[in-house]
Amino acid sequence: MTGVVVCHGSPAVRERLVAAAQAVPALTPVRAAASGEELLLLARRQSPSVVLLDAHLPGTGPVEAMRRLRLMNIGAAVVMLAQPGDEIALDRAIALGARGFVSPDVGRSELAAVAAHVLAAPIGPRAGLPTRLPAVPAPTTGAARRPVTALRTAVPAAREREVESATVQVPKPELTKREIEVLTGMSNGRSNAQIGADLFLSEDTVKTHARRLFRKLGASDRAQAVAIGLRRGIIR
């Protein structure tokens, strides 16, 4: 598996997302699809690692596109691009294994955090409820009935404030060369075991470096650490 497929019905949104994804090494190569049919065709030719899927996709629709992707058993991590009015489609996408949600206006740093989050975690046959992603969290049982507008504005703003607060309040950290290498690996969507193999370190040693850099950055998880690292220019 390799790269990402951006599947969105709007040419303008699709073009912007492709440009943002191309700036994230873990998501390259980047391919674009305007419909579910085109997405499936691309997925058959070269299985993607990540699919960014329009939750309001015209034609086949996101639910049917996800169902067919699941039948193909390619193991791609599907992240929905949520729009207001997509609650039913998002609920069904969860049942089919969507890993989470991001806003269609997601930027480079958020996409890098998404890559760090979803690519490092193994994808099982049943993904269950998706994990909270940097821009828009997966709804819990109580939140699933709320308008998607709330998911795209109030919650993302809180997440943005969380990252910005860590960026502003914590003095620029003095990360060691090894900690920067571990953070770079995270931004490329590498698991701790893969980072260890790349750096000739044990997985436990990588975890130790990760805990230290989380503490220095004031981050609670690898996704937030990557976002902070990118915004502070620690990694590129």
What CATH number is attached to the domain comprising 174?
1.10.10.10
Within-domain flag for 155: no
Asked if residue 141 and residue 32 are part of one domain, the reply reads yes
Residues 217 and 107 in one domain: no
Let me know whether 86 and 182 are in one domain: no
Give the whole-number percent of the chain exceeding pLDDT 70.
76
pLDDT tens per residue across span 33-72: 999 999 999 999 988 999 999 988 888 888 889 889 888 8
Task: Determine contact, residues 1/49, Cβ cutoff 8 Å.
Answer: yes
For the stretch 9-16, contacts whose Cβ atoms lie closer than 8 Å and that sit 24 or more positions apart, written own/partner, are: 9/34, 9/35, 9/54, 9/56, 9/57, 9/58, 9/59, 10/54, 10/104, 13/54, 13/81, 13/104, 16/105
Q: Are residues 32 and 111 in the same domain?
A: yes
User: Cα(144)–Cα(165) distance, rounded to whole angstroms?
Assistant: 28
Specify the number of domains making up the chain.
2
83 plus 180 within the same structural domain: no
Looking at the structure, do residues 222 and 137 belong to the same domain, yes or no? no
Mean pLDDT across the chain: 77
Domain termination residue (choose one: 147, 176, 211):
147
| pLDDT for the residue numbered 122 | 57
What is the edge-to-edge ordering of all strands in the sheet holding 50-54?
Answer: 30-33, 4-7, 50-54, 77-81, 100-102
Phi, psi dihedrals of residue 80, rounded to the nearest 5°: -80, 145
Looking at the structure, tell me whether residues 10 and 126 fall in a common domain: yes
Same domain, 175 and 59: no
In a domain, 63, yes or no: yes
Q: Which of 118, 147, 176 is the last residue of a domain?
A: 147
Residue 154, in any domain of the structure: no
Residue 128: CA count within 13 A, CB half-sphere? 5
Statement to judge: residues 8 and 125 lie in one domain: yes
Residue 90 is assigned to a structural domain of this protein: yes
Q: Are 8 and 14 in contact (CB under 8 A)?
A: yes
Residues 127 and 195 both lie in one domain = no
Are residues 85 and 139 in contact, defined by beta-carbon separation less than 8 angstroms?
A: no
* Residue 160 is assigned to a structural domain of this protein: no
Q: Each residue of 148-160: pLDDT tens digit?
A: 332 333 234 444 4
Beta bridge partners of 102: 81
Domain boundaries, position 20: 4-147
- Supply the CATH number for residue 134's domain: 3.40.50.2300
Closest CA to 97 of 51, 135, 74, 66: 66
State both tokens at 117: 């989050």
Query: pLDDT exceeding 90 applies to what percent of the chain?
Result: 31
The pTM of this model reads 0.65
Task: Answer whether 234's CB lies under 8 Å from 175's CB.
Answer: yes
110 vs 134: CA distance, rounded Å:
6
pLDDT in tens, 98-110: 888 888 888 888 8
Indicate the range of 2-16, 72-86, 114-128, 208-222 predicted with least confidence.
114-128
The reply to whether 104 and 209 lie within a common domain is: no
Task: Please indicate, yes or no, whether residues 141 and 219 belong to a single structural domain of this protein.
Answer: no
Answer whether residue 46 is part of any domain.
yes
Cross-strand bridge partners of residue 53? 7, 80
**Do residues 227 and 134 touch, judged by C-beta distance below 8 A?**
yes
In a domain, 62, yes or no: yes
Residue 153 counted as domain residue:
no
